[in-house]
Amino acid sequence: MKSPSIISHTLMWHSFLLITYLQADTMTETADIRLNMISKAFVISPDSLPTEACHAATLTEVKPGSLMAAWFGGSQEGQPDVRIWGAHFENGQWHAPTLLTPTTPDNREEAHWNPVLFNDGSHLHLHYKVGSSPRTWRGYHSVSTDGKTWSTPQSNPQGYLGPIRNKPIQLPNRHILYPSSTEHQGWKVHFEIDDGSHRHQIPVEDPQMLGAIQPTLLTHPEGHIQALCRTHSGVIAETRSHDSGLSWSALTATQLPNPNSALDAVTLRNGHHLLVYNPVVAGRTPLTLALSRDGRHWQQLMTLEEGDGEFSYPAVIEDSNGTIHIAYTWQRKAIRHIQINVVSASSK
C-alpha cells in the first residue's frame, strides 16, 4: 500500500502536470472547434423528485428527437428501497419519471444501482446492478422497443455484471463491448464481449496499483479503443486495445486528476473526443467538459457546474442530429440535462 506522503506527492505532481499541459495546448485545441450550450434544465427537479435522493444518471437516444434518462433513487444510496427510475424527453421537454424496477427479480430486498441505457439500433437495453453493496452486486438486464414497456428483468450469467457504470459500444462485427469492473477483491477493471449467445471477460492488469473502476470507452481508427477509468489514486487511469477489445494494455496514470468519482466520455462523429469529469483531486465540484483530438491531450472548454455541493456522475452522448447531451447528479436532489452544439471554426 502506498504511504500517505507518496500519495500526496503524486497528486501534487499530477496537478502541476495538468496545469502546465492545459496552458500549452489551449490554442491548438480551440483552433478548429467550439461548443455552444443550447439549454440547461432539470430532467427531474428537486421539488418534484419522487424519492429523497437520486444519483448516477444514464442517457440514450430512443429515436431522433427523443431521449431517455435513468438513475437510481430512494432514501439513500445503498438502502433496500433504492430502485431504478426513468424519464423521457419528447417534443423538447422532460416528462414525469416512472419506476422502472419496482421489484427485485429474486424477491430479495436489496438496493438497485448504476443503470446503463444502450440503444443497439433495434432494441433499447437497460442494465443495472442489485446488491447490498458494490462488493455483492449481481447484474440484471431488460429489453424494450420504446423505453416505456420493458421485458421481465433477467439475471446475467454468473460472474458477469455487464456495463458497470458507462455505456457499451457496438464493435464492427456487431458484438457488444461492455466496460466493467469489480470491487470485491480490490478495484479491478475488466471488459466483457457479448456476441449474442456467449460472453467472455478480458481482465486488465494494474501493476501500479492505481485501483480503477468504471471505465468509459473512446474509439479510434483501425480497431483502436481507449478506456478512461475512475481511480482512488487521484488521477484518471487509462488502458488501450489495438484489436477491437480482445486484449488490453496495463493500466497507466494520465495527467488528468480524479477525485474518486465517475466520469464519462464519447467519441464524436467528427473524430474529436469529449470528456465530462470533475477536474480536481478532492470533492465533486466543479464539473467540466474537455475536448481532445487524440485522447491524450485534453483542453477544458466549458464549466457545466461550480460552487459548493456535488455535481457528479455524468453521462454524455451525441444524438443522430449531432447534438451533445449530458446528464448528471445535481446535489443528489435532482438530475440535470444540458444540450450542446459543436461548431467548427468556419461557422464563427
Mean pLDDT by 10 residues, the chain (348 residues): 42 40 36 84 95 98 97 97 97 96 83 97 97 95 96 93 98 95 96 93 97 98 96 98 97 98 97 97 97 95 96 98 97 98 66
pLDDT of residue 258: 98
Q: What is the reported pTM?
A: 0.90
Residue 26 pLDDT: 31
Nearest to 178 by CA among 234, 136, 129, 111: 129
- For residue 47, with 0-12 CB atoms within 10 Å meaning exposed, 13-18 middle and 19 or more buried, which class applies? exposed
pLDDT of residue 107: 74
pLDDT of amino acid 74 = 98
Type of residue found at 10: T
Name the E strands within 120-246. Answer: 124-130, 138-144, 154-155, 169-170, 176-182, 188-194, 199-203, 212-220, 224-231, 235-241
Taking alpha carbons only, the member of 335, 340, 297 closest to residue 317 is 340
Considering the segment(s) 4-347 as one domain, its CATH architecture is 6 Propeller (2.120)
Inter-residue contact 194 to 180 (CB < 8 Å): no
Q: Check residue 345 and give its pLDDT.
A: 53
Give the cell for residue 252.
497507466
Using DSSP, state whether 290 is helix, strand or coil. strand
pLDDT of the residue at 104:
77
CA distance 152 to 124: 14
**Domain positions in the chain:** 4-347
C-alpha cell read off for 294: 487524440
H runs (alpha helix) in the chain: 4-29
- In this prediction, residue 54 carries a pLDDT of 98
Q: Do 214 and 194 contact (CB within 8 A), yes or no?
A: no
Assess contact for 236 and 252: CB atoms under 8 A: no
Q: Is the dihedral of CA 113, 102, 127, 97 positive or negative?
A: negative
Single-letter code of the amino acid located at 313 = Y
Q: Which three cell numbers stand for residue 79?
A: 438502502
Per DSSP, 219 falls in state E
The answer to whether the beta carbons of residues 328 and 304 sit under 8 Å apart is: yes
